Structure 1
């Protein structure tokens, strides 16, 4: 009887170790892959990411929203009253997969053009990772990208106060 109790406790110990190891692999491998791709995003952002402003445009204060941003519609949504439009090209580095829990990496290249003359005002390159989460629950996947893309929409436009007749920040 004593031998059976010892055997059962040893068996339970090894089953517990096996379950713990299996759970660690299940969480650890996807987390490691995600971490590696996040480091790749940082590297690509440093090498190729960022903004280039070719022309700074002075606009009246009314064109800016509460956050100091100017709405620039995509090319497909341009109205006759719009002065600028943007294009965005997505390039998949680690291809987009429709599989739940997949890990995707892509490059986004956004350009802002003036409608009147078709001139390129500014462009921005950014990289992002989506998904790769170890726990498959039906929520939006995690993501990681280059820092502070919102600054891109502030860079080519400067507020002009018509009352004071001078640019404001």
Structure 2
């Protein structure tokens, strides 16, 4: 065998190994995210509040129009709505780097600062070998939005 032939085989082997390892970050972050979700994710309700039917819109949302208001005003003067995003692993997903984040939405009663409920989820973006147009992403637990679930879990309509 000549040297060129061996160099070609070595190059192909390195390429195959590289392709095999590419995306490993994505799968490692997905496993980490799923473990975090299992231990910490989901909606937790510590206290519910029963509101009159007039406090709900036609779609069953308490505090009609809350989606259009600033976060600090979403739930009126008696409750505080707090959203937080924490980077667990920072990266540029459009460059193939993986990123992992923790999303938290909490509701507090203002007069005593009691935590009424919280929704915690995790999301992964990137970690892809090749990014075409947009990086892949994954989130858990899977539900519409954290804010909607926690708000509808803490605030219940009287008579239901």
Please provide the CA RMSD for this pair.
Answer: 3.6
Give runs of aligned pairs for residues 1-169 of structure 1, distance below 5 A: 22=15, 24-25=16-17, 27-59=19-51, 60=53, 63-64=56-57, 66=59, 68-70=60-62, 71=66, 75-76=71-72, 78=73, 84-97=79-92, 100-115=95-110, 118-139=113-134, 141-150=135-144, 151-160=149-158, 166-167=159-160
| Higher CA-based Rg | 1
Q: Which runs of 5+ in 2 are unaligned?
A: none
SS of residue in 1 equivalent to 2:153:
coil
User: Alpha-carbon deviations, 1:85-143, whole Å to 9, x = none?
Assistant: 4212222211244762220012222211245665432112222211112222232x222
Relative to the length of structure 1, the TM-score reads: 0.64
Counterpart-to-counterpart distance in 1, 2:94 and 2:18: 17
SS of residue in 1 equivalent to 2:133:
coil
Counterpart-to-counterpart distance in 2, 1:26 and 1:65: 55
Q: Which runs of 5+ in 1 are unaligned?
A: 1-10, 161-165
Return closer, same or farther for 1:64/1:34 CA change in 2, 3 Å cut-off: farther
Q: CA deviation at 1:153?
A: 3.7
